[in-house]
Amino acid sequence: MKQGAGGGSLSDVKVSVMHLTWHIPRDEHFVPWLDEVCEAGYDGITSFSHWGLESFVHRPAELGRLLSDRGLELAAVDCVLHDSFEEYKPVLEFMQALGTSLLVCIDPAGSAKEYGRYASMLNTVGEMAAGYGVDVHYHNHTNSVGETMSDVENLMSRLDPDRVKLMLDVGHATKDFIELPVERRAADFLQRHWDRINYLELKDWNEQTDLNTPLGEGETDFDRIFELMRTRGYAGWVTVEQNGNDGLSRGRSPLACVKISREFLRNKLGV
């Protein structure tokens, strides 16, 4: 199945959930987390290679069994972008073993706006990853090289589109793309660059709860985003993320929050 924008129908969309809402479940909390993902109606999980999946990187078969027993898949793996390129190989081998093709790279918080340097790193990782059947993506986020819309577009102009795909975290875009009015930030960017979009991370934002916000409780213009998905075409994985369980989510469990987001997608997008 094709991944990303420019083709396919919403009937081909699968929905995963990021582990951050549960505050990085590990060890004895990992399997109960998978059970809650199933209960909430998701098709798969997304997690960090170094911060959530580290105990499985050299044991992919074990994770594969845990997922398969629950009808889940590993949709994507996130990692911190760095230039120790040999360290990516175990992660890429792990992903290849599980049939996971989406690698998301996040530069360390506070990184200098060295667009050329980080683009070169991404291009190198993208070239490496291609040999494993893995597509590399850059993750826009607060206090990073790719924070504002201008930052992301500066970085994009230096990326080789054959090596690095484009993804968008729509919650961070809503918070950080300050060049535009808040209600236009994510959707305008997507409209301008839709043909390069390969992966979407669905997140909401408002001033009270920041990025710890279930879908539909913030300022992200999901109506326009979903209309683009319908009219321009989108297939494959989307990932739901909430950066914790604070603010308006306080008093609601992580499971309750991800159920709110999952029901929002069913009602608004039909997936």
pLDDT tens for 6-21 read 777 788 999 999 999 9
Instruction: Provide the 3-class DSSP secondary structure of residue 78.
Output: strand
Tens digit of pLDDT for each residue in 233-242?
A: 999 999 999 9
pLDDT at 4: 85
At the second CATH level, the architecture of 4-269 is Alpha-Beta Barrel (3.20)
Q: What is the pTM of this model?
A: 0.96
Tens digit of pLDDT for each residue in 212-260?
A: 999 999 999 999 999 999 999 999 999 999 999 888 888 899 999 999 9
Nearest to 144, CA basis, from 115, 102, 182, 122:
115
Token digits of residue 251: 């008093």
Buried (b) or exposed (e) across 36-54, using 16+ Cβ within 10 A? bbeebebbbbbbbbeebbe
Q: Which amino acid is at 250?
A: R
Domains of the chain, residue spans: 4-269
In this prediction, what percent of the chain has a pLDDT beyond 90? 92
Tens digit of pLDDT for each residue in 139-177?
A: 999 999 999 999 999 999 999 999 999 999 999 999 999
Q: How far apart are CA 222 and CA 227, in angstroms?
A: 8
Q: What average pLDDT does the structure give for the chain?
A: 96
* C-beta of residue 254 within 8 angstroms of C-beta of residue 7: no
Mean pLDDT to the nearest integer, 81-104: 98
Instruction: Provide the 3-class DSSP secondary structure of residue 178.
Output: coil
Residue 105, beta-bridge partner list: 79, 138
Q: How far apart are CA 159 and CA 133, in angstroms?
A: 19
Mean pLDDT to the nearest integer, 61-88: 98
* C-beta of residue 177 within 8 angstroms of C-beta of residue 216: no
Buried (b) or exposed (e) across 83-106, using 16+ Cβ within 10 A? eeeeebeebbebbbebebbbbbbb
